[in-house]
Amino acid sequence: MDEVTGEVMGEVMVKAEQVWKSFGQLEVLKGIDLEVRNGEVVCVIGPSGSGKSTFLRCLNHLEKINAGRLWVNGQLMGYRQRGDKLHELREKEVAAQRRDIGMVFQRFNLFPHMTALENVVEAPIRVKRQAKASAMERGRELLTRVGLGDRCDSYPSQLSGGQQQRVAIARALAMEPKLMLFDEPTSALDPELVGEVLGVMRELALDGMTMVVVTHEMGFAREVADRVVFMDGGVVVEEGPPSQVIGDPKHERTRAFLSRVLRPED
Amino acid sequence: MTEKQGNRPGLIRAVPVRHPGRWVAAAVIVVLAAMLVNNIVTNTAYNWAEQWKYFLSPPVLNGVRNTIWLTLVAMVGGVLFGIVLALMRLSPNPLMRGASWLYLWVFRGTPLYTQLLIWGNIGALFPKLGLGIPFGPEFVTAQTNALYSAAMAAALGLVLNEAAYMAEIIRAGILSVDPGQNEASQALGMTRMQTMRRVVLPQAMRVIVPPTGNEAISMLKNTSLVAAVPYLELTFTAQTIYASTYQVIPMLVMVCIWYLILSSLMMVGQYYLERHYARGSQQSRMGLRARMSRIGGAP
């Protein structure tokens, strides 16, 4: 599709250049610059309203950005550049770009009228046109991998929140994405169910998946992230290894935020 | 545990509250029912023998067939065209939205009976039908009345009217689906059409089916209005019979029995349809009796 900008892009999964986004009068993102390299796990933290979820949704073009450029896997998201003019991509082309990007939502968004296995195989069969039998086999494997091999035929309403979120992760993985986006994946869960979801995500990170995780789980960020990005007021305030951003923040706003969210066990 | 059970107090044996009003109401209903049964048995004007004579007669069966056929065509056509109108109303294109709104305004704002009269007399408005370039030359033309039968007029009138009502029901169903479902499908790389067909509409059906069942049962009875076209469905058939036999009440009661049989069959169909689209919801695990009482309509 679109030409890769320079040889650097081979190493880089996500590249954001001066990304701006506003909803009407409200400016939510004010010039985000960020790079995520292949295999890297980046945790985005920050107070609510800081724009971190919006930025994540821009990454797979669920939101259109107003200014700047955004590349994922070497492709300019949502547009085609000809000379210095940008052309909007057609719906099918946007859909094709999204196939390589898995997304996990705060509220799971499983399809309630399908069983766990049907949820997982829907996109491989309909979008990737995989044969039904092999897609089902692979679906079972994925559900087993997230610890739900025995719940293939359960409907989402018969599963706990933690189980639903693990099905949602398996559903995203079924498309064999090169990048996984997590939008506060444990915020809607009862406290005792958070661990099982973080466990699956931790294993995914160990397997080398490139991940961008918006989260309030500081313990997870500190342990799993290669890099932590602190956002506030629509800008990246501070970024670096977790030991630095969470352990020894330089910026006053980061310190103020962390003092509000850090619990003793983190 | 055992200690507590040892100290367990005696079971409560209270005098229940009396409901004298219920007894009065029950007595009134029993008396009214007895009067009705007595009337049905003793009043010779019902002429049950006459009813039975015509119940399975060829003209009546033809009327039943036409009624079923019209109901089916009108509902299927109404649903399909209703989906188009609903998608137009939800479209980002203001011209589509406006056109759909205008259609609803006309077809919901005028009586069905009047619309059917117009479709029955459309030949007076468009004596010829032609295929060609708008405002330009026509390649083929034909006399309207040669192409157009009473059955077509009846079906067309019912479909166009029903589509206006179905559009609103379907739009409400689509809007009832959580927007997160749309986002999840898009994030998986599904197109808007795939999302609509595989994810949104199946969930919208849970909201769409119950009022559509209502519409179908209304439609069964509204087919009697196509006597305006005129077209020989069940009621119009009965009218033509009693025009010569003068057995007005027996024919009308017989027709009511037929309508009751057909609407009962439709309620059974609706039950299975609702059960199908309740997959994965809490209600799908409810008992049969609870579901049937819901289909029965407003309590």
Residues of B in contact with A102 (CB under 8 A): 187
Q: Which of A112, A123, A157 sits opposite B190 (nearest CB)?
A: A123
Minimum Cα–Cα distance from B186: chain A residue: A95
Q: Residue A7: which pLDDT band, with cuts at 50, 70 and 90?
A: very low
Structure tokens, A164: 């639903």
User: Is residue A112 within 8 angstroms of chain B, CB to CB?
Assistant: yes
Q: Which of B190, B281, B282 sits opposite A127 (nearest CB)?
A: B190
* Region A115-134 average pLDDT: 96
| Percent share of chain A, pLDDT over 70 | 95
What DSSP string describes B138-205?
A: EEEEEEHHHH--HHHHHHHHHHHHHHHHHHHHHHHHHHTS-HHHHHHHHHTT--HHHIIIIIIHHHHH
Structure tokens, A6: 């320079």
Structure tokens, A59: 């990454």
Query: What is the overall mean pLDDT for chain A?
Result: 92
User: Is residue B197 within 8 angstroms of chain A, CB to CB?
Assistant: no
- The three-class DSSP label of residue B257 is helix
> Taking the model in full, what pTM does it have?
0.79
Sign of CA dihedral A144, A145, A147, A153: negative
CB spacing of B277 vs A172 below 8 angstroms: no
Predicted local confidence at residue A1, as pLDDT: 41
Calpha distance B25→B29 (Å, rounded) = 6
Structure tokens, A125: 């069969």
Calpha distance A16→A33 (Å, rounded) = 5
CB spacing of A62 vs B192 below 8 angstroms: no
Predicted local confidence at residue B298, as pLDDT: 41
Contacts of B293 (CB under 8 A, 6+ apart): B299
> What is the b/e burial string over B204-235, where b = at least 16 CB atoms within 10 angstroms of the residue's CB?
bbbbbbbbbbebbbebbebbbbbbbbbbbbbb
* Region A25-29 average pLDDT: 94
Element (H, E) at A35: strand A26-37
Q: For chain B, 299 residues long, give each residue's pLDDT as a single digit of tens.
A: 445 557 888 899 998 898 999 999 999 999 999 999 999 888 888 888 888 888 899 999 999 999 999 999 999 999 999 999 999 999 889 999 999 999 999 999 999 999 999 988 887 777 777 777 777 777 777 777 776 788 888 899 999 999 999 999 999 999 999 999 999 999 999 998 899 999 999 999 989 989 999 899 999 988 999 888 888 889 999 999 999 988 899 999 999 999 999 999 999 988 888 888 887 776 555 555 555 555 544 43
Calpha distance A225→A241 (Å, rounded) = 8
CB spacing of B281 vs A157 below 8 angstroms: yes
Our CA-based measurement puts residue B78 at a distance from the nearest CA of chain A, in whole angstroms, of: 25
Domain A12-262: what homologous superfamily?
P-loop containing nucleotide triphosphate hydrolases (3.40.50.300)
Calpha distance B255→B235 (Å, rounded) = 7
Q: Residue A261: which pLDDT band, with cuts at 50, 70 and 90?
A: confident
User: Is residue A103 within 8 angstroms of chain B, CB to CB?
Assistant: yes
Q: What is the interface size between A and B, counted as CB pairs within 8 Å?
A: 71
Using alpha carbons, list the distances in angstroms from residue A91 to A109, B73, B188, B236. 21, 35, 13, 52
User: Is residue A249 within 8 angstroms of chain B, CB to CB?
Assistant: no
Predicted local confidence at residue A105, as pLDDT: 96
Q: Which of the residues B177, B188, B203 would you substitute to probe the A interface, choosing the one with the greatest number of A C-beta atoms within 10 Å?
A: B188
Calpha distance A255→B217 (Å, rounded) = 66
User: Is residue A125 within 8 angstroms of chain B, CB to CB?
Assistant: no
Instruction: Report whether pLDDT(A154) > 80.
Output: yes
**Which 72-101 residues of chain A touch chain B by CB within 8 A?**
91-92, 95-96, 98-99, 101
- The three-class DSSP label of residue A55 is helix
Predicted local confidence at residue A6, as pLDDT: 42
Structure tokens, B212: 């559509």
Are B55 and B139 contacting, i.e. CB atoms less than 8 angstroms apart? no
Predicted local confidence at residue A196, as pLDDT: 94
Using alpha carbons, list the distances in angstroms from residue A118 to A132, A137, B129. 11, 12, 50
Which residue, among A33, A6, A233, A266, has the nearest Cα to A254 in the 3D structure?
A233
Q: Which of A99, A105, A110 sits opposite B189 (nearest CB)?
A: A99
CB spacing of A98 vs B199 below 8 angstroms: no
Element (H, E) at A236: strand A235-240
CB spacing of B187 vs A101 below 8 angstroms: yes
Q: Which of B189, B199, B280 sits opposite A175 (nearest CB)?
A: B189
Structure tokens, B41: 């048995």
Residues of A in contact with B189 (CB under 8 A): 95-96, 98-99, 123, 127, 175
Minimum Cα–Cα distance from A128: chain B residue: B189
- The domain limits of chain B are 68-231, 232-272
User: Is residue B194 within 8 angstroms of chain A, CB to CB?
Assistant: yes
Predicted local confidence at residue B290, as pLDDT: 53
Calpha distance A66→A63 (Å, rounded) = 9
Calpha distance A48→A216 (Å, rounded) = 10
How many CA atoms, within 13 angstroms, populate the side-chain half-sphere of residue B276?
11
User: Is residue B273 within 8 angstroms of chain A, CB to CB?
Assistant: no
Q: Which of B181, B199, B282 sits opposite A157 (nearest CB)?
A: B282
Q: Which of the residues A89, A109, A178 would you substitute to probe the B interface, choosing the one with the greatest number of B C-beta atoms within 10 Å?
A: A109
Separation of first and last alpha carbons in chain B: 44
Sign of CA dihedral A43, A48, A49, A50: negative
Are A7 and A65 contacting, i.e. CB atoms less than 8 angstroms apart? no
> What count of other Cβ atoms lies within 10 Å of the Cβ of residue A105?
22
User: Is residue B91 within 8 angstroms of chain A, CB to CB?
Assistant: no
Predicted local confidence at residue A52, as pLDDT: 95
pLDDT of A36-56, one tens digit each?
999 999 999 999 989 999 999
Using alpha carbons, list the distances in angstroms from residue A87 to A64, A69, A155, A235. 13, 13, 41, 27
Assess if CATH 3.30.360.10 describes domain B68-231.
Answer: no
Calpha distance A79→B46 (Å, rounded) = 76
